[in-house]
């Protein structure tokens, strides 16, 4: 699947690039990361994992708004990240980490599978992901 497929299937919509919405999404990503860190300190590992994913989700949405897209399904974000990787804009590890976080969130939310180790890993990748999306945002 590619961006055109996402547009055709309604997973993604084109819009005018919007710096203001992009900035709001980056702020949401920071907020979610702070809440994830707090949850980790409180040993609420499930919530930490969920908030880490949403930090990454909002950070990636910021890029979509900068590019002139609105996601309608979470998978569309992954597709856009893959396209950015193909263009040499981001490293493949960020796609791998986004997928891992997506899976960890689903496991925590729907299968009640979570741990301190997973939460700790999620915090690490979410922080790195946010920094990368902030960097990328400045280049678009």
Q: Write the pLDDT tens digit of every residue in 42-98.
A: 999 999 999 999 999 999 999 999 999 999 999 999 999 999 999 999 999 999 999
What region, left, alpha or beta, does residue 64 occupy, with left being phi > 0 and alpha being psi -120 to 50 degrees?
alpha
Tokens (6 digits) for 40: 């980790």
**pTM for the model:** 0.94
Helix (H) or strand (E) holding 61, with range, is helix 45-67
Q: Is residue 42 one of the residues assigned to a domain?
A: yes
What's the domain count of the chain? 1
Q: What is the pLDDT of residue 140?
A: 86
Domain that holds residue 50: 19-65+90-139
Look up the CATH number of the domain holding residue 37: 1.20.120.330
Q: Is residue 118 one of the residues assigned to a domain?
A: yes
Q: Is residue 46 one of the residues assigned to a domain?
A: yes
**How many angstroms separate the CA atoms of 69 and 79, rounded?**
12
Q: Is residue 44 one of the residues assigned to a domain?
A: yes
Residue 67 CB partners (closer than 8 Å, separation 6+): 17, 80, 140
Q: Is residue 13 one of the residues assigned to a domain?
A: no
Q: Is residue 8 one of the residues assigned to a domain?
A: no
């Amino acid at each position: 699947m590619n961006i055109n497929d996402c547009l055709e299937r309604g997973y993604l919509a084109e819009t005018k690039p919007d710096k203001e919405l992009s900035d709001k999404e980056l702020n949401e990503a920071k907020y979610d990361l702070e809440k994830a860190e707090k949850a980790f300190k409180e040993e609420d590992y499930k919530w930490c994992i969920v908030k880490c994913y949403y930090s990454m989700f909002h950070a990636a949405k910021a890029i979509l708004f900068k590019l002139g897209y609105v996601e309608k399904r979470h998978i569309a974000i992954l597709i856009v990240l893959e396209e950015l990787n193909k263009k040499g804009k981001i490293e493949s590890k960020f796609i791998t980490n986004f997928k891992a976080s997506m899976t960890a969130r689903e496991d925590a939310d729907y299968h009640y599978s979570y741990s301190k180790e997973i939460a700790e890993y999620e915090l690490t990748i979410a922080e790195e992901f946010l920094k990368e999306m902030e960097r990328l945002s400045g280049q678009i």
